[in-house]
Structure 1
């Protein structure tokens, strides 16, 4: 399993410190693979023991085993890295973007969603993976321009707590790639049963999350990488649909202020 796969597998066990450390390492694998735990700790501005705890959360016995994994990961990335842009099929990504925009434009529930942003007492958002969480954080930053505060739920533990406290006057947004939610299925159902308005953000497909949610936002993804089985365009189009949602909401607010 590659590093991104490990992050998604153990995501619910990772706190903000862990994600900060892993984020640095994932962006600097070539540099990190030859560094000691003390050197990595210095780069991340944390203690060596914190680094070791993070690696153990990812299933390693300690930093030595993790560093060996990083060396293999660096070699793997070199093998699949395409040295020439002639192999990049921009038409596939362009199609994903066009389809995502089309899905958004055809959505008849957007005005109801915009109203929920304005009327909800609290707005919560949960991403089922590391990348989804990052996109939601950017969306949260944008919403602040309209004085809307989006509470990002960092892990399953906090989602369990929120599921007990959330009310029908609140709003929950859940972003996922596949919409498969086995690990949080019971939590989402308990929230839905409480009549809490729920918005799913998933790839365009029939999926469990979309079935449970009151409103569905979709984005298009084409699997480009047959080697790693990663959806390389997923974050691009997920970010796009959230950007469209923010722009639409901003226009809705401005329009209503004129009347």
Structure 2
């Protein structure tokens, strides 16, 4: 689990000082790899105890473990700057490996117990991912309702209940519409599974379960940039495969 995931997971535990520390670390990851706890505390104008408590709030044993995470992520960044083609390929390979090991039981449990499952994606890519998720599950004779467009999403608010489940797919998790929708679903006690890129975001904090992808922004020359979002589609297939395995295991247990 990366630091961004830990911050999202434990966000409610963090106070103003913790968030300031995280903001500094996020913007200076490479520098922070080589800082002692006292040096980081001095740069953030807090005590070394506050730094230690911040690490512990993220479920880390202490500052040493926090630095290990920073070193891993700094090494990833250095690699990213060398060759964006290698980075994209590496991201795909690493993502698939991580998903193989990731425990999807809580996500699958929400899906299995839902009366109906909805999916809504904001933006062109995310809408395509929502459509793909619906298509994949249909091949397994499972129905997922794909909400298309903001108007339809608003209409669903009148019919959805706490017995249902919704996947919300957003690149940043920060658009005004997706945040408003998530808050409305939360008020209705509708379970939410968010799918976003790996960063601290409002949608993830409002959701019951979070799934992330890594996206990499690359300079192509001539002022052009490219952000790879292929992993959204890979994740959709992983959700289907993990859920199919989950159901098969339950059926085996019932037979026994």
Range into which the TM-score falls when normalised by the shorter chain: 0.5 to 0.7
**Of 143, 151, 156, which aligns to 1:149?**
143
Structure 1 residue 255 corresponds to structure 2 residue 249: yes
In 2, Cα distance between equivalents of 1:216 and 1:107: 12
* Secondary structure of the structure 2 residue equivalent to 1:201: strand
In 2, Cα distance between equivalents of 1:136 and 1:104: 19
Structure 1 match to 2:88: 93
Q: Provide the TM-score with structure 2 as the length reference.
A: 0.61
In 2, Cα distance between equivalents of 1:161 and 1:228: 38
In 2, Cα distance between equivalents of 1:195 and 1:136: 22
In 2, Cα distance between equivalents of 1:224 and 1:102: 23
- How many residue pairs were aligned? 170
What CA deviation, in whole Å up to 9, does each residue of 1:194-228 have, x standing for no partner?
Answer: 11100000111111111111100001111124534
Structure 1 match to 2:128: 134
Change (3 A) 1:149 1:92: same
4+ long deviations beyond 6 Å: none
Structure 2 match to 1:4: none
What CA deviation, in whole Å up to 9, does each residue of 1:156-191 have, x standing for no partner?
Answer: 111111122210000010111111121332222011
Structure 1 residue 208 corresponds to structure 2 residue 191: no
Structure 2 match to 1:117: 111
CA contact (8 A) 2:120 2:127 kept: yes
- Considering only aligned residues, what root-mean-square deviation do their CA atoms show, in Å? 2.1
1:94 deviates by: 1.8
What CA deviation, in whole Å up to 9, does each residue of 1:57-84 have, x standing for no partner?
Answer: xxxxxxxxxxxxxxxxxxxxxxxxxxxx
Structure 2 match to 1:160: 154
What CA deviation, in whole Å up to 9, does each residue of 1:16-65 have, x standing for no partner?
Answer: xxxxxxxxxxxxxxxxxxxxxxxxxxxxxxxxxxxxxxxxxxxxxxxxxx
CA contact (8 A) 2:132 2:236 kept: no
In 2, Cα distance between equivalents of 1:181 and 1:127: 12
Q: What are structure 2's unaligned runs of at least 5 residues? A: 1-81
Q: Provide the TM-score with structure 1 as the length reference.
A: 0.60
Structure 2 match to 1:6: none
CA contact (8 A) 2:178 2:203 kept: no
